[in-house]
Structure formats: structure tokens, C-alpha cells
């Protein structure tokens, strides 16, 4: 018998199922992973998460494994080359924002010691546990995502509207939104080692 999973998951995409089971909602505490997730959530704007997930490996190559220092040094010429790469979403504003967001990310690291310390401070270092019973109950944003979005924008980030930030919070385990019917729902999750 197969496991019961969240209602939004496309069970026909093994990559998506693996992401759901091994990553989504599990607390992230590694800065490079935070940068990857916030970048990919921004790339998703106007698209489906599945589209971005299917291009994830290409993003990792194009953006130096999401090393924020290396990404912060991407030149205008490199941006032009990236815009010709069919392996990523070729949206000029999204590609440029990845570079400028890397610079803002580094400033946060310098100020707080790590991006992890900064972002988890918003939730007092504790995952917000939810247990939604239906798709209608899932919020697209919350008061907390509004606060984080506003602060990130103030610090120079782009493509971090409240809806994008809430999706990032779900992905990075700041909130645990696996549904009540999901085998991962309603319980604290730990990051899994690859």
C-alpha cells in the first residue's frame, strides 16, 4: 500500500515525490541551501513549482551550486549568456535578481553571522506546525511572510513578495505544512542527509 501524501503533489513525477518526501517542510540550517531555495521560489513566480523543480539541476550548474559569493560576482556578460540557457527560466529580471539577491544575502550573513540565524529568528528558531485538512485551508501568505518579505525587500532582495516568501518558508521548514492526511503531516520533521 502506498503512503498517503499531500493533495497538491503530482504523484506521476518521481522527482516531485522525492522532493515532497525528503525536502519540503524539513528545516534547513545551511546557508547555501537557503540561498538555493529562496532563488528557486523566486524563479517560480508566475509558473508552477514542478517546472522549476524539473530545471533545478541546471540551476545548480548555472549558479555555481548556489554559492552566494560566486553568484554575487556574476558579470553582465555572464547574465547575457545565462539568458540563452534553455536549462533555466530565461527571464532577465529573475536572473538579474539572483545576482543582486546574492549580494544582499552576503550582507545579511555579515550582519547576523549567517542567513540561517537571521531567517530562523523570525520564528524564534521553532518550526510553525500546521495541519491543514484540505487544499482550501492552505494560505498563500501569512502575517509572518508579510513581515519577512518586507524586511528582505528593505535589505535589497527582489522576487520576495509575501506569497513567494511563504512558499520558501514551507520549503525550508520554517512552517510545516504537510496536510493532515499526509504521512508526514502534523509531526516535527528533521532534515534528511543525502
Which of 19, 64, 138, 183 is flagged as catalytic?
19
DSSP string, 63-123: TGGG-HHHHHT--HHHHHHHTT-TTS---HHHHHHHHHHHHHHHHHHHHHSSHHHHHHHTT
8 is catalytic: no
16 is catalytic: no
Q: How many CA atoms lie within 13 A of 123 on its CB side?
A: 23
Which of 23, 24, 36, 49 is flagged as catalytic?
49
Sign of dihedral through CA atoms 71, 157, 122, 49? negative
φ/ψ of residue 66, rounded to 5: 65, 30
Helix axes 162-171 and 143-154, enclosed angle (nearest 10)? 110
41 is catalytic: yes
Which of 16, 23, 24, 41 is flagged as catalytic?
41
Q: Which three-class secondary structure state does DSSP give residue 47?
A: coil
Contact 169, 148 (CB under 8 A): yes
Active site residues: 19, 41, 49
Amino acid at each position: 500500500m502506498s503512503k498517503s501524501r499531500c493533495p497538491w503533489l503530482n504523484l506521476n513525477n518521481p522527482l516531485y515525490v522525492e522532493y515532497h518526501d525528503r525536502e519540503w517542510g524539513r528545516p534547513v540550517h545551511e546557508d547555501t541551501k537557503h540561498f538555493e531555495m529562496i532563488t528557486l521560489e523566486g524563479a517560480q513566480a508566475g509558473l508552477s513549482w514542478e517546472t522549476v523543480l524539473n530545471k533545478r539541476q541546471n540551476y545548480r550548474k548555472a549558479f555555481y551550486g548556489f554559492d552566494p559569493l560566486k553568484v554575487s560576482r556574476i558579470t553582465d556578460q555572464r547574465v547575457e549568456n545565462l539568458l540563452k540557457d534553455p536549462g533555466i527560466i530565461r527571464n532577465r529580471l529573475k536572473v538579474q535578481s539572483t545576482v543582486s539577491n546574492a549580494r544582499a544575502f552576503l550582507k545579511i550573513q555579515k550582519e547576523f553571522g549567517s542567513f540561517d540565524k537571521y531567517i530562523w529568528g523570525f520564528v524564534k528558531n521553532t518550526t510553525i506546525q500546521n495541519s491543514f485538512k484540505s487544499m482550501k485551508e492552505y494560505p498563500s501568505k501569512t502575517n509572518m511572510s508579510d513581515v519577512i518579505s518586507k524586511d528582505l525587500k528593505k535589505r535589497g532582495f527582489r522576487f520576495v513578495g509575501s506569497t513567494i516568501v511563504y512558499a520558501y518558508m514551507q520549503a525550508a521548514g520554517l512552517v510545516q505544512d504537510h496536510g493532515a492526511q499526509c504521512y508526514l503531516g502534523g509531526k516535527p520533521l528533521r532534515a534528511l542527509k543525502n
